Structure 1
Amino acid sequence: MTGRDPALAEAAPAKVNLALHVRGRLADGYHALETLFAFTRFGDTLTAEPAADWGLRVEGEMAGLAGPEEENLVLRAARAFADATGTRRRFRFHLVKRVPVAAGLGGGSADAAAALRLLDRACGTGLGPAGLLPLAAMLGADVPACLLSVTARGEGRGERLTRAPSMTGMPILLVNPRVPVPTGPVFRAWDGIDRGPLGNDPLAGRNDLEAPAIALQPVIAEVLAWLRTLPGARLVRMSGSGATCFALGVTAARVPAGWWSVATELVEGPPPAGPAPPPAA
Structure 2
Amino acid sequence: MSVQEFAPAKLNLTLHVTGQREDGYHLLDSLVVFARVGDSVTLVEGGLSLSVSGPFAQGLSGDDNLCLRAARLAGAEAAISLTKNLPVASGIGGGSADAAAVLRGLARMGHELPPEPERLGADLPVCLASQPARMRGTGEILQPVPDLPDLRMVLVNPRIEVPTPAVFRALEQKNNPAMPDLPGQFDLEGLLDYLHACRNDLQDPAINLFPVIGTVLRALQDEGAMLARMSGSGATCFGIFPDATSAGMAAYRIGAAYENWWITSTGLAPQSPPI
Q: Same fold (TM over 0.5)?
A: yes
Q: Does 1:202 align with 2:183?
A: no
User: Which residue pairs with 2:265 in the alignment?
Assistant: 263
Q: Which moved more, 1:221-230 or 1:191-200?
A: 191-200
RMSD: 1.8
User: Could you give the per-residue CA deviations for residues 203-231 of structure 1, whole angstroms, max 9, x where no partner exists?
Assistant: 31110101110111001011111111223
Q: Unaligned regions of 5+ residues in structure 1, if any?
A: 272-281
Q: 1:276 corresponds to which residue?
A: none
Distance 2:28 2:197 in 1: 16
Give the corresponding residue for 1:12: 7
Query: Where in structure 2 are the equivalents of 1:1-281 lying within 5 Å?
Result: 8-51=3-46, 53-66=47-60, 68-82=61-75, 90-122=77-109, 124-125=110-111, 127=112, 132=113, 134-167=115-148, 169-192=150-173, 194-199=175-180, 200=182, 201-231=194-224, 233-249=225-241, 251-252=247-248, 253=250, 254-255=253-254, 256-270=258-272
The letter of the residue matching 1:142 is: D
**1:16-70 deviation per Cα after TM superposition (whole angstroms, max 9, x unaligned):** 000001112211111111111110110000002222x10010010000143x431
Cα separation, 2, equivalents of 1:194 and 1:22? 7
Distance 1:162 1:268, change over 3 A: farther
Distance 1:163 1:268, change over 3 A: farther
Question: Which amino acid counterpart does residue 196 of structure 2 have in structure 1?
Answer: L
Partner deviation per Cα, 1:174-223 (whole Å, 9 max, x = no partner): 00111111100000100125342211322311101011101110010111
Cα distance in 2, alignment partners of residues 134 and 245 from structure 1: 32
**3-state SS, counterpart of residue 226 of structure 1:** helix
CA distance in 1, matches of 2:55, 2:198: 33
Q: Deviation at 1:167?
A: 2.7
User: What percent identity do the matched residue pairs reach?
Assistant: 46
DSSP 3-state at the match of 1:61: coil
Cα distance between partner residues in 1 of 2:271 and 2:103: 14
Count matched residues: 251
Give the CA deviation at 1:270: 4.7
> Which AA in structure 2 matches 1:236?
A
Moved over 3 A (4+): 268-271
**Contact map agreement 2:33 2:133 (CA 8 A) in 1:** yes
**Aligned counterparts of 2:158 and 2:26: Cα–Cα separation in 1:** 26
Q: Which amino acid aligns with 2:58?
A: G
DSSP-derived class of the 1:134 partner: coil
1:65 and 1:205, CA in 2 relative to 1: closer, same or farther beyond 3 A? farther
Distance 1:54 1:135 in 2: 22
* Cα distance change of structure 1 residues 65 and 19 upon mapping to structure 2, 3 Å threshold: farther
Specify the SS of the correspondent of 2:89: coil
Structure 1 stretch displaced more, 28-37 or 196-205 = 196-205
Displacement after TM superposition at 1:251 (Å)? 2.3
